[in-house]
Structure 1
Amino acid sequence: MSSAVPAPSPRVWSVGALCRAVADTVDARFNPVAVRGELTGCSRPSSGHLYFSLKDASGQIRCAMFRRAAGQLDFVPRDGEAVEAWGRLGVYEARGDLQLVVERLTRAGQGALFEQFLRLKAKLEAEGLFHAGRKRELRDLPRGIGLVTSPGAAALHDVATALRRRAPHVPVLLAPAAVQGAQAPGELVRALESLYALSTSQPLDVILLVRGGGAIEDLWAFNDEQLARTLARSPVPVVSGVGHETDFTIADFVADVRAPTPTAAAELAARPREAWLDELDQSEGVLRDAVQARLDAAAMRLDQAASRLGRPLGRIAQQQLRLARASHSLRMALGTGLERERGLLAAGASGLQRAAQARLAHEERLLQAWAPRLQRAAGRSVERGQHQLDRAALRLELLDPRLVLQRGYAILTDPEGHAVTRAAGVQPGQALTASLADGDIALQVQARP
């Protein structure tokens, strides 16, 4: 009778050692790993980490996505969404649970779409469709705005509300098109083409291409190559407002301006009406001040001219005084000379009669010789005085106020005889006298302007 060979005893593991061994085996066998499944049990505590499970019809696995990786997500994970997760499979030794540490998470199918997006982006960028040099600036005051979006989209309401608030005076031309689905790229191209044709016959300075947010599949119509090339040949600047701020499409790169949202696209295209009205008010104030300054300067020059015309008598009196002084000086000079000569003759007669007679004879000869010259000198002096007097009289005549009155002007005086030079110096009902070229007229002030 043979004896049974005892089975070898299994190795006895500590719990921690067994968990580490399983973790090493899983890491060497599977990692890195990509898993597709449905989200369930999503939670995001204040630490910023993301915890969830992936499941399908036959299994479920716990997942953890730490804060750094979770912060790079371009969507908010929700229970029931189909996703693809890339990461490393391991064992959480504290509980002995199998766990997937996720490093990248996308919606199911998004990976292939993203690769397609990157290929088209690189192709168009190499052709120069994204170059900054071809981007055009928007007009501050557009004459017309083209709008391409779906008539039933919330983006249409947002854009219309913003434009109605900021620039209700600017006409908006809507070119309707689907913004999601297989037919959307073709409809978007046809809508843009219709606006391009309209821009040749009516003012159209900017086109808004807008759509609300969504998943990459929802926005895929705006990653179409034909749409991108149609945008590139737009005759007017295009503003792309597709999705949310974190969403990027090929249309965003081709457009002249990218807006983070449809509302922001409308705000970029139309400056607020209040800003234009403020500038107009400021310009009006500057013009008003300039005109008033010109009027003040002209009024000052007019006052100065009127004051000079109002004092001709003073200048005439000054010239007459100068003429009188000159005439008196001439008479005094002649009289003094004759008296001096006579005194000398009388003094000589009392001393030496002969010498006096001889001196008298000599003086008489001198006097006879000088008399014509003195007379001529006096005549010339009188002529010069008369000439100066004639010139002064001519200037006085030119300054005669009656000459001004003969040209249709009048001199206004109050009852005391004072000249009225300013409208502010009279009151309604006051009596005035208007001196004309041929007489005076009594006036009464009816009203002051």
Structure 2
Amino acid sequence: MSSASNTPVSVTELNRQVRALLEGSFPILWVSGEISNFKRYGSGHCYFSLKDATAQVRCVMFRQRATLLDFEPREGMQVQARVVVTLYEARGDFQLTVEALRPAGIGGLFEAFEALKKKLDAAGLFDPARKRSLPAFPRAVGIVTSPKAAALRDVLSTLKRRMPGLPVVLYPCAVQGLAAAGEIAAAIRAATARAEVDVLIVCRGGGSLEDLWSFNEEEVALAIAASPIPVVSGVGHETDFTIADFVADVRAPTPTAAAELVSPHRGEWQNRLRLIGARLQRDLLRTVQTRMQQLDGLSRRLRHPGERLAVQRERLDMLQRRLRQLPVRQLSMLGDDLGRARQALAYVKPDLPARHAALGALQARLHQALRRHAERQQARVAQLSGRLTALNPEAVLARGYALIERPDGAMVTRAAALHGGDGLRLRFADGTVAAEVTAADGTQQKLF
């Protein structure tokens, strides 16, 4: 824009040019100061001022960037902001658009955190493929934390509530301070060497980044990665993230949540077992009912031996009729063949003596075949008759036995079915005799 121009410009155009000038003149830079008048709106955007002893500047942090914060900005907090210098055109307000925000004085820790995170990620320690699932029913749970930590009380109370009697082994260590990282790693290695638990909780309560820094040390990360026991990290609050969270097999937002992840809920499993038992009982009842119906069907298919004998008699009669009819049909067919042969002979005027001789031979073979066939059929009839006789209950009567029947013809098979005064009919091989039961108590019976 020319400095000597006399052409007026609108306020909008002026603010637009000033904004472009500011954003083009200043690179993205870090600004330190104290938060003042912080407010987060329902849209997720954050508005506040950064101030020092003699000046202040308005700032805006839009929702996309604000959701990435791993701490909650508070009034009076000293912070470092990564900003773009700009102008809010609608009001002509000079302001800073905040791209990132971190507590002041720990920028080096953030940088160390990011550097170690990238290193371990490149080494494959964050790879989901190497992480293991937690046991559904651990025999014992190990806890790596300080005996004085409030997190330990939360974990123990949660385990007792969810699964009373679940063995717990504490591997004590410091969770804050210069020696804490070494003690945490040593406790994890001790749990691995003793091999007395099925899952391991590494936990402590919330705090500042400095308080949680022991869980961002490479020594702790390597100990977690080397542990053959599945590890659950429950460090800090839900918004706190540490290197231990990324390396562990499972990250829990709080120590209490870690205890819930490793312990089955006794009440829930009892309800589940009750449901399974009820389902098994229903299935068993359904199976029994189905088998009873099948048994009823099979019972209906059973037939009395007398009915089977009647069917066999009918079949024997049919075979006898077919046997008697077979020679007649065969003779008729052979006679027809002989007649056709004679007619053909009459037309062709064959050699009669030779034909007569052949005919005689055929007749002899025919008679011989009929005789053999009749013998076989007679033998089969005799065999079937013998089998029928063997199945005939009346054949037993000839050996001195008798059949006991009621006057209506029903068979009597049990003495308990008789009562004094019952009329009976005794069937022998050569006839029947009427009888009467005079006593049916099993001690004295007289038939006459």
TM over 0.5: yes
Work out the number of aligned pairs and report it.
Answer: 342
Is 1:79 the counterpart of 2:107? The answer is no
Distance 1:110 1:434, change over 3 A: farther
Distance 1:432 1:260, change over 3 A: farther
1:65 maps to: 59
Is 1:136 the counterpart of 2:132? The answer is yes
Q: Tell me if structure 2 keeps the 8 A contact 1:433–1:442.
A: no
Cα deviations by residue, 1:335-391 (Å, 9 ceiling, x for unpaired): xxxxxxxxxxxxxxxxxxxxxxxxxxxxxxxxxxxxxxxxxxxxx999987764542
Deviates more, 1:281-290 or 1:224-233: 281-290
Question: What amino acid sits opposite 1:231 in the alignment?
Answer: I
How far apart, CA to CA, are the structure 2 residues paired with 1:323 and 1:104?
A: 105
Q: Tell me if structure 2 keeps the 8 A contact 1:61–1:98.
A: no
How far apart, CA to CA, are the structure 2 residues paired with 1:272 and 1:294?
A: 33
Deviates more, 1:99-108 or 1:72-81: 99-108
Normalised to the residue count of structure 1, the TM-score between the two structures is 0.59
How far apart, CA to CA, are the structure 2 residues paired with 1:92 and 1:148?
A: 52
How far apart, CA to CA, are the structure 2 residues paired with 1:290 and 1:153?
A: 51
For residues 88-237 of structure 1, the aligned pairs below 5 Å read 102-168=98-164, 170-199=166-195, 202=196, 204-237=197-230
Shift of 1:259: 2.4
Distance 1:300 1:179, change over 3 A: same
1:340 maps to: none
1:406 maps to: none
For residues 339-418 of structure 1, the aligned pairs below 5 Å read 388-396=384-392
Q: Tell me if structure 2 keeps the 8 A contact 1:242–1:261.
A: yes
Question: What amino acid sits opposite 2:246 in the alignment?
Answer: F
Normalised to the residue count of structure 2, the TM-score between the two structures is 0.59
**DSSP-derived class of the 2:49 partner:** strand
Cα deviations by residue, 1:59-108 (Å, 9 ceiling, x for unpaired): 23223221315554332222343333444678999999997665543212
Q: Tell me if structure 1 keeps the 8 A contact 2:216–2:243.
A: yes
For residues 227-266 of structure 1, the aligned pairs below 5 Å read 227-266=220-259
For residues 37-52 of structure 1, the aligned pairs below 5 Å read 37-44=33-40, 48-52=45-49
Shift of 1:308: 7.5
Is 1:267 the counterpart of 2:260? The answer is yes
Deviates more, 1:248-257 or 1:282-291: 282-291
Question: What amino acid sits opposite 2:185 in the alignment?
Answer: V
Deviates more, 1:243-252 or 1:226-235: 243-252
Shift of 1:213: 2.8
How far apart, CA to CA, are the structure 2 residues paired with 1:267 and 1:399?
A: 83
Distance 1:65 1:168, change over 3 A: farther
How far apart, CA to CA, are the structure 2 residues paired with 1:232 and 1:97?
A: 51
How far apart, CA to CA, are the structure 2 residues paired with 1:246 and 1:270?
A: 23
Shift of 1:231: 0.6
Question: What amino acid sits opposite 1:132 in the alignment?
Answer: P
Distance 1:303 1:53, change over 3 A: closer
Shift of 1:299: 5.1
Q: Tell me if structure 2 keeps the 8 A contact 1:222–1:249.
A: yes
Alignment RMSD (CA, Å): 5.2
Cα deviations by residue, 1:231-254 (Å, 9 ceiling, x for unpaired): 111011111122233322111121
Cα deviations by residue, 1:388-413 (Å, 9 ceiling, x for unpaired): 4542232245999xxxxxxxxxxxx9
How far apart, CA to CA, are the structure 1 residues paired with 2:213 and 2:260?
A: 25
Q: Tell me if structure 2 keeps the 8 A contact 1:86–1:104.
A: yes
Identical-residue share of aligned pairs (%): 42
How far apart, CA to CA, are the structure 2 residues paired with 1:442 and 1:112?
A: 110
Shift of 1:23: 11
Cα deviations by residue, 1:182-240 (Å, 9 ceiling, x for unpaired): 232122122212321232xx4x2221212333322121110111111111110111111
Q: Tell me if structure 2 keeps the 8 A contact 1:62–1:99.
A: no
